Amino acid sequence: MNSEELNPAELHRYADKFLQENFGLQLDIPVRVSKRMKSKLGAFQIKLQNKKVVSKEIVMSNSFIMNNSPETVLDVLYHECVHYALYTLNKPYRDSDREFTETLERLGIAKTRTYKYKGQAYLYECRKCSYQFTKRVKGYNKRYICRHCRGKFIYKGMVESR
């Protein structure tokens, strides 16, 4: 398997299988892949409005997926699944909760923070349409133009792992 094959539908399938096997739960929320999320590898997000939950989702960073092995990507996905499972079961579910860290250890899942992007990734942006992407090579902006609008790219900096 290749990390590029890990589209939202595939990620959802893996997450659902993991949750059924380990918690007897189904994943009844969407998995989204975000091109804008650079500060985190993955997240379990709960949106509140007037103290009521209006939406829940698991978000995975696109550049993280593209720059890492499928095993590493799934490990982070399962980490987010544990947040979801404990939350659904009304148990302490935050990274700092003991129940959470003990569950990760029991299931042999690494803590997300130990990961870094494999190698270094550089962030580029199209001057014209603001399309953003990461590449493992430097100087991409000098050699290529945007396939969406044929605009020029600017180098925006290195991608941080957290």
Closest separation in Å from C-beta 50 to Zn ion: 26
Is 126 one of the binding residues for Zn ion (CB under 5 A)?
Answer: yes
Of residues 1 and 152, the one with the C-beta less far from Zn ion: 152
Contact residue for Zn ion among 129, 145, 154, 158 (CB under 5 A)? 129
Is 82 one of the binding residues for Zn ion (CB under 5 A)?
Answer: no
User: What tokens were used for 125?
Assistant: 């942006």
Is 146 one of the binding residues for Zn ion (CB under 5 A)?
Answer: yes
Biggest distance spanned by C-alpha atoms of the chain:
52
Of residues 120 and 132, the one with the C-beta less far from Zn ion: 132
Q: Which segments of 60-157 does DSSP mark as H helices, in order?
A: 62-66, 70-88, 98-107, 140-143
The backbone torsions φ and ψ at residue 63, rounded to the nearest 5 degrees and listed phi first, read -70, -30
Q: What is the residue type of 61?
A: S
CA atoms within 13 A on the CB side of 98: 0
Is 105 one of the binding residues for Zn ion (CB under 5 A)?
Answer: no
Closest separation in Å from C-beta 19 to Zn ion: 16
Q: Which residues bind Zn ion (CB under 5 A)?
A: 95, 126, 128-129, 131, 146, 148-149, 151
